[in-house]
Amino acid sequence: MIDLHTHSIFSDGELIPAELIRRAAAHGYSALAITDHMDQSNFDMVIPRIVKLIEKLRGSIPITVLAGAEITHVPPALIPDLIKEARALGAQIIIVHGETIVEPVAEGTNRAAIEGGADILAHPGLISREDLLLALEKGITLEITARKGHSLSNGYVARQAVELGIPLTLNTDSHSPSDLITKEFAKLVLLGAGIEENGIERIFNHARALVDKALGQGHK
C-alpha cells in the first residue's frame, strides 16, 4: 500500500508524525507521504519539521516516508508560487486540495494546481473537460480518495481519467488512525469508483512511480 495524502497534528490530523508512520507500517504500507494542510501562514514551519523528522528516522523505520504538502483553500492566483516555495523547502510530494463537491473551494483551484505543476490534484470534484485535458498535457495525477464526502465524485473522476488516459492514484486523506486502509481495501475503493480490475495494478504502479520520482529529486 502506498498512500500519498495523509495528515498529522501539524494540521488537522490526530497523530504525531511518528505514530502516523508506525500505524501505516502496521497496515502494510510500503510508502507514505505526510501532506499536512498548508497555506502561506504555516508552510515554512511544517515542511522543515517533517523533513527533519524523516532525516532522524532514516534507517529505523520499515517504510519510505516522504515530506509533502497539501495546499488548501489558497486563492488560485497564489497557488503556483506556493508550490514553488514548498518544493524549495524540501516538499517531495505537492498536493492541491481540489474542488471537492463537499467544500466551498474557490473556483479555479483545479486549474491553478495543474498550471502550477502540483504532483497530485486531490479530490477534484466535477473537474471540467478543459482542466482534464490540461492535466493530461501537464502529466498531473488525479486522486481517487477513500475519504468520506470527497469520495462522492470518485466515479466521475475515474471515468473521465480512464477515458482520456490521465494517471490516477488512490489515497486515503487520513486524519485519524481509522482512516488508514489495507491494500485489499484500496482495491475495493477502486472497484467501487468504476475502475476495471485489470486497471487496478496500473494505478498502484503509478503510485510507486511517483515515490521513485520524488526520491530521485534528491530528497530522501
Q: How confident is the model at residue 219 (pLDDT cuts 50, 70, 90)?
A: very low
CB-based contact 13:6 (threshold 8 Å):
yes
The topology (CATH level 3) of 2-216 is: TIM Barrel (3.20.20)
pLDDT on residue 49: 98
> Distance between the two ends of the chain, CA-based, in angstroms?
19
CB-based contact 217:92 (threshold 8 Å):
yes
CB-based contact 99:125 (threshold 8 Å):
yes
What's the average model confidence in pLDDT over 22-47?
Answer: 98
Q: Is the dihedral of CA 88, 70, 113, 205 positive or negative?
A: positive
218 strand-pairing partners = none
**Residue indicated by cell numbers 524549495:** 88
pLDDT at 181 over 50: yes
Q: What is the pLDDT of residues 65-102, one digit of tens each?
A: 999 999 999 999 999 999 999 999 999 999 999 999 99
Question: Residue 195 to residues 95, 121, 183, 187, 208: CA-CA distances in angstroms?
Answer: 22, 18, 15, 9, 18
What's the average model confidence in pLDDT over 203-216?
Answer: 97
The pair phi, psi for residue 27, each rounded to 5°, is -85, 0
Q: How confident is the model at residue 220 (pLDDT cuts 50, 70, 90)?
A: very low
178: its cell numbers: 481509522
Query: Which residue spans within the chain are E strands per DSSP?
Result: 2-6, 31-34, 37-38, 64-71, 93-97, 120-122, 141-145, 168-171
